[in-house]
Structure 1
Amino acid sequence: MAHVTTSDSAVECFATLAVPVAVDAVWELLHDEAVLAKILAGDGPLPPVTGVTDIDGAWARAGDSRSIEFADGSGAHEELVLDERPTQVRYRITGFTSKALAATLSQVDGAFLLTHDGCTTTLNWRYTLHPSPGTSLSALAAAGRQSWLPYMGRILDAINVELLDR
């Protein structure tokens, strides 16, 4: 169910995970900083996350922010845009210090949308990739298919394992 779409100004990457746990368990995992480095450790368009610093707020309300440190020594700024327990979490990543990411992306908007049917929680994840000036949407869409979707799939697999091991 993973796919990429292109609008006039951005590329959207979608991936889905269905897991037999309560919706609150998924929501809590998405807010567990101790798990962040573990599930974001794989290779992909974003380097593995090694730490979170400059935390402003409890990462529970719109406006809370933090700096993300990547394994390659680069970083980015992340801000919580919306947090409605237990149905959705929306965030924005900006200020990429990696030259390659900064040359390609002006910002990335992320969203986790959660639904529960009584037995299974479905996690719908969307990344909206906003290109930097000079980056074509077609090139960004190709990167979405070749790099972002597999990355999202690996992270969702790690989330699945983490949830089932709890």
Structure 2
Amino acid sequence: MLITSADRTVPITVLARTSAGPADAFRILAPIDLTRVFLADRLFPGVAAVADQTGTWDRAGASRRPRFTDGTSVTESLTEYVDGRGFAYELTGFTNALATLALGVRGEFSFLPDGEGTIIRWTYEFKPRPGRRWIVAGPFRPLWQRYMQSALRRMVAIIEGARPESIGEAGHHLRGA
């Protein structure tokens, strides 16, 4: 287990609303193509490809290696999977600048009923390296939160676009944390 109750972590959470129900939003988002939602920006690389996947991405124990547009990579392991409700994963073995800041990250998606739709809650919980918490909790945090919110907006657009009744108004269903 990467993170324990004794660790001083830095959680960063973003939220978005979709008109899809929790089960539909989960079904589309859980196996989403990472290259479509994690795009490079001026500060962070995007995901260029996913390699070395073991198992299907629908049960704890599966793992894969996202490769970034700058040539670096990370190991991603699915640690929890509750169909229709949420999933969690750990990111370890960063080969980019995050390796100097964090020992790893626990990510979690929750799909919360919201009328006929869903609020998607996505948290990245960083386990900072010794002496680096102030960087992650300080100047890094708002930059990463913006990157996450942009990726989540793209995820919601894909969810909305995958639904036959959608008319492409995903941007009107968003809410930031």
Common fold: TM-score over 0.5: yes
State the alpha-carbon separation in 1 of the partners of residues 126 and 41 from structure 2: 18
Note closer, same or farther for the CA distance 1:27–1:75 as it changes in structure 2 (3 Å cut).
same
2:68 to 70, 75, 80: 70
> Is the Cα–Cα contact under 8 Å of residues 42 and 154 in structure 1 kept in the other structure?
no
Tell me, which stretches of 5 or more residues in structure 1 are unaligned? 1-6
Structure in which a larger fraction of residues adopt strand: 1
- Give the counterpart letter for 2:24 in structure 1: A
1:56, 1:78 → 2: CA distance? 11
* Aligned residue among 66, 79, 82 for 1:81: 79
Q: Deviations over 1:50-78 (max 9, x none)?
A: 11111111011111101110000000000
Match of 2:172 in 1: none
- In structure 1, what is the Cα distance between the partners aligned to 2:42 and 2:101? 14
Tell me which amino acid in the other structure corresponds to 2:75. Answer: H
Identity %: 29
Greater mean deviation of Cα atoms: 113-122 or 9-18: 113-122
Pick the aligned partner of 1:57 from 52, 55, 59: 55
**Superposed displacement of residue 32, structure 1:** 2.7
Long gaps (5+) in structure 2: 1-5, 163-177
Structure 1 segments, 4+ long, off by >4 Å, are: none
Distance 1:122 1:158, change over 3 A: same
Does the residue aligned with 1:50 lie in a helix, a strand or coil?
strand
Alignment partner, residue 89 of structure 2: 91
Pick the aligned partner of 1:163 from 159, 165, 170: 159
Letter in 1 for 2:18: V
TM-score between the two structures when normalised by the length of structure 2: 0.82
TM-score, normalised relative to structure 1: 0.87
